[in-house]
Amino acid sequence: MTKTLNVGSLKIDIDETPGLASYRMCGNVDESFKQNEIPRIKAQTINLDLEGLTNFNSCGIREWVFLIKDLTKYGQLRFKKCSIAMVDQLNMVPESIGNGVVDSFYAPYACETHGESEHLIDVNSSSADLHSHVAPEKNCATCNTPLIFDAMVDSYFLFLSPIASKPQKAS
């Protein structure tokens, strides 16, 4: 059963099954975000689905770091479908991940004909490219031509450096 709550500008869906707690977050992490209002669930694995995070501000990121630091006491954090806004925060504020592991994240690409798009990158299946700071190859969904990675590779994948040595256990 899914429990839904709103914490400021953020909507959070929480699912709990034996050994697994999943938090799906959608919206902004801003001055209205109060991390102490989010239920803590003890589980072997805590999945954070962050595809819907759209924006962070300085007050929000401070609260986010407190949340992540606290959640690490309750289980192993797995970051899934990190939005581009989340990746930006991971790169600027390394404490945003705590001792968690990023399983997948979105990255910006562009087609010369059809414009910009975001593509999900699975860390395990793309690990050779990512740890070499090479953007995984993607093709345009419309014309199937190779896409151009639309960010600076070294700075976009910076968040992977501190976690490169962490084990990538399957969840």
Which helix or strand (DSSP H or E) is residue 60 part of? helix 58-71
Which helix or strand (DSSP H or E) is residue 84 part of? helix 84-92
| CA distances, 84 to each of 2, 17, 45, 117 (Å) | 26, 28, 23, 11
Asked if residue 19 is part of any domain, the answer here is yes
The C-alpha angle 113, 116, 120, rounded to 5 degrees, equals: 125
CATH code, domain carrying 93: 3.30.750.24
Give per-residue pLDDT as tens, 155-171.
Answer: 999 998 754 434 444 44
Question: What is the domain extent for residue 43?
Answer: 2-160
45-56 and 20-29 beta bridge pairing: parallel
Phi, psi of 4 (to 5 degrees): -115, 135
Report the mean per-residue pLDDT for the chain.
Answer: 92
Q: Does residue 38 come out as left (phi exceeding 0), alpha (psi in the -120 to 50 range) or beta?
A: beta
Asked if residue 168 is part of any domain, the answer here is no
Average pLDDT score over residue span 56-74:
96
Asked if residue 170 is part of any domain, the answer here is no
Average pLDDT score over residue span 33-41:
95
pLDDT for the residue numbered 162:
53
- Of 37, 74, 36, 67, residue with least CA distance to 50: 67
Local structure of 24: helix, strand or coil: strand
DSSP state at residue 168: -
Alpha-carbon distance 15 to 152, whole Å?
Answer: 36
Domains: count for the chain: 1
Cβ atoms within 10 Å, residue 67:
23
Asked if residue 165 is part of any domain, the answer here is no
Asked if residue 88 is part of any domain, the answer here is yes
Asked if residue 6 is part of any domain, the answer here is yes
pLDDT confidence band for 131 (50 / 70 / 90): confident
pLDDT for the residue numbered 161:
77
Asked if residue 143 is part of any domain, the answer here is yes
Average pLDDT score over residue span 95-124:
96
- To which residue do tokens 């151009």 refer? 148
Alpha-carbon distance 4 to 110, whole Å?
Answer: 35
